[in-house]
Structure formats: structure tokens, C-alpha cells
Amino acid sequence: MTNTVSGRQEQWRAEFPYHWDEDDTITRRELLRFTVYTSGALFAAAVGLAAFNRFYRSRAAGVKPLVRLSELVPGQAFHFNYPDPDDESILIHLPEGRLVAYSQRCTHLSCSVSYQPERERLFCPCHDGAFDPRTGEPIAGPPRRRLPRITLEETNGIIYAKELLP
Amino acid sequence: MTRPSWQMPVLLTALTIGILLMGIQLWVLTVALDLLLGGEGSRVWQLALVSGAIFLGGVFVLNLLNKVFSQRERTD
């Protein structure tokens, strides 16, 4: 009887040669391999971000005419695109008469900031971030870095954008 | 075939460290995205290098473990 049972077991093992002892080891080794593959994917993603920045974000700007000085009203903003056609920027004629220009890209998560002259701030509606229009420094909300500044130059009554500074 | 007793702790340790490092890589990727969106993309390369170093370390350890295991299994 016992011989018959053990004979059946042997037959079963012969038909389904599954090594239970190795099961855990194989699973863990596979998991380790999968971890390394995932690590490679994360590395590739980081390289992709760096490459995106290198090829799409770091183009040289150059000098670009913006607007006639006579058209600017103190306390108002003028919107333009600089350095690329899809980079929104803002030129502010401060109430005291000074001109400042910034990228409109919020330094938190790249939402577009807008000028609120009545509250004397540049406001990002995504997470209630705010910047000082005189300096571009963050004054409220999650942003921790200042807005990228655009240097300006006036020649023959025309305002030119010269350079984007981080 | 029985498994050598030292294999499982070594595998588990490697797996734990690997998963921890993968978590760090994920964090590094979020920091890189944050910097990119914040306009400081020039620093993303440094983070990519850190991520690459972790990945290469993982590949090295995986190869090492495969070599050691196959060598020991042949001798045991």
C-alpha cells in the first residue's frame, strides 16, 4: 500500500517536475533583477529630463525689441514672449517709474504668474504663490526661488530684452 | 537540490538595499522634475549622474551575486 502511494507520488513528480525548494530563491532573484531594471528606467528618466532641459530650455536668447517706452503706463504690465516664442514673460512699469521684466513661469511648478498692481505682487493662482514685483523674490506660498529676471535696455525710446538671468 | 543556508540572507539583504536605493532614485527623479519646472534645469545633470551611479551599482551587485551563487552551487 505504502509502496503504491509513494510510487504514485514519484510518478506525479516525474510528470510535474516542480522544485519547491527553489521557488523562493527564484522569486527573490527575479525581484532583484526587476529592481535593477526599474532602477535603469528611473536613471533613463532622469537622463531624459536632463536632455530635455539641454535641448529645449537652454537656447541662447539674444536681443529682442519689446515696446515703445511711451506706450507703457506706470503701474501696468506688458506681456511678451522671451527668449522663445512659447516662453511667456512680463514687463512691469512700477509705480515709481522703474522698469522690470521677469519670466512668467512660477518657480514652484511652472504655472503662469500675473501682475496684481492693487496688491503690489506677482501672483501664481495654482498654489497661491506670490512674488515681489520689484525684486522677483518669493514673498508667499510654496515658491522658494526668485523669478528668472530679464535684463532690459532702452534705445531711442524702444525697450529691448537683452538676457534671461536665472 | 537544497539551497545553501547563506543564500537567502544575502539575497534578502541585497533586495532590501536595492529597493531602498530605488526609492532614493525615485526621490531624485522628483527633485529633478521640480528643478526643471522651477527653471533650474542646469542642475538636473548632477541628479542624473547620481541616479546612474545607483543603477550601475545595482548592475554590479546583481552580476556579482549571480557569479557567486552559480560558483557556490557548482561547488556545493
- How does pLDDT run across A22-48, given as a tens digit for each residue? 665 567 778 888 899 999 999 999 999
Place of cell 514672449: A81
Residue B10, φ and ψ in degrees, nearest 5: -65, -45
Return the pLDDT at A137. 93
In the predicted structure, residue A85 carries a pLDDT above the cut 60: yes
Return the pLDDT at A126. 93
In the predicted structure, residue A143 carries a pLDDT above the cut 80: yes
Q: Which residues on B lie below 8 Å from A40 (Cβ)? A: 55, 58-59
pLDDT band at B76, cuts 50/70/90? low
pLDDT, one tens digit per residue, over A100-126 is 999 998 988 889 999 999 999 999 999
Instruction: Give yes or no for A50 touching B (CB within 8 A).
Output: yes
Q: Which member of A39, A52, A148 has the closest CB to residue B54? A: A39
In terms of Cβ atoms closer than 10 Å to its own Cβ (0-12, 13-18, 19+), residue B2 is: exposed
For A33, which residue in chain B has the nearest alpha carbon?
B62
In the predicted structure, residue A61 carries a pLDDT above the cut 70: no
Residue A42, φ and ψ in degrees, nearest 5: -65, -40
Return the pLDDT at A3. 62
Residue A86, φ and ψ in degrees, nearest 5: -100, 10
Size of interface A-B (CB pairs under 8 A): 116
Tell me how many helices (H) and strands (E) chain B has. Answer: 2, 0
pLDDT, one tens digit per residue, over B62-75 is 888 888 877 766 66
| CA pair distance A14, A2, nearest whole angstrom | 18
Nearest chain B Cα distance for residue A154, angstroms: 26
Q: Which member of A24, A32, A53 has the closest CB to residue B36? A: A53
Return the pLDDT at A72. 86
pLDDT, one tens digit per residue, over B10-58 is 888 888 998 999 999 999 999 998 888 777 777 899 999 999 999 999 9
pLDDT band at B1, cuts 50/70/90? low
Contact B41, A53 (CB under 8 A): yes
Return the pLDDT at A71. 87
For A31, which residue in chain B has the nearest alpha carbon?
B15
Q: What is the dihedral of CA B48, B53, B57, B58, to 10 degrees?
A: 0
Supply the pTM of this predicted model. 0.61
For B56, which residue in chain A has the nearest alpha carbon?
A40
